[in-house]
Structure 1
Amino acid sequence: MTAEHPTNWRKPTRSSTGNACVEVGRLADGAAVRDTKNRAAGHLTTTRTQWTSFIHSLKTNRFD
């Protein structure tokens, strides 16, 4: 999708003491997601529109 390198990696505050979670990095027009247990495996990227839709779906319990 992009050759840009994600910056400002963050993991959810609810999992701050564990390593079994994902981290989200910033891209100029989207986000990147990687597994904290295997950061060397790379990351997935999304556009801003895709990421916004995903977050909205989480907040509205679409996946429950």
Structure 2
Amino acid sequence: MAAGEQHGWRKSSYSNHQGACVEVALDDEGVSVRDSKDPAGAVLTVASRQWATFVRRLRN
């Protein structure tokens, strides 16, 4: 099973209809991120704790 497929991909409600955004998925390995315009392309997976730190710093 490919990264992110276990729980499904989610796109931000702020994304536009042209697909200019990223999608995220939670799975056993952490949080996976991919380009919504190229779903068959590269996937970046980071540990859940690292993702939480990233999001927290973005909000600050």
Check whether TM > 0.5. yes
Distance (whole Å) between structure 1 residues aligned to residue 47 and residue 2 of structure 2: 12
Instruction: List alignment gaps of at least 5 residues for structure 1.
Output: none
Count of residue pairs brought into register by the alignment: 58
Give the Å deviation of 1:5.
2.8
Q: Secondary structure at the match of 1:40?
A: coil
- Which one has a larger percent helix, Structure 1 or Structure 2? 1
Distance (whole Å) between structure 2 residues aligned to residue 10 and residue 22 of structure 1: 9
Give the Å deviation of 1:34.
0.1
The ranges of structure 1 where at least 4 consecutive aligned residues each deviate by more than 4 angstroms after the TM superposition are none
Q: For 1:24-61, what per-residue CA distance to the aligned partner results, in whole angstroms no more than 9, with x for missing partners?
A: 0111252000001111113100001110101101111x
Identity fraction in percent = 36
Calculate the aligned-residue CA RMSD, in Å. Answer: 1.8
Distance (whole Å) between structure 2 residues aligned to residue 29 and residue 5 of structure 1: 8
Instruction: List alignment gaps of at least 5 residues for structure 2.
Output: none
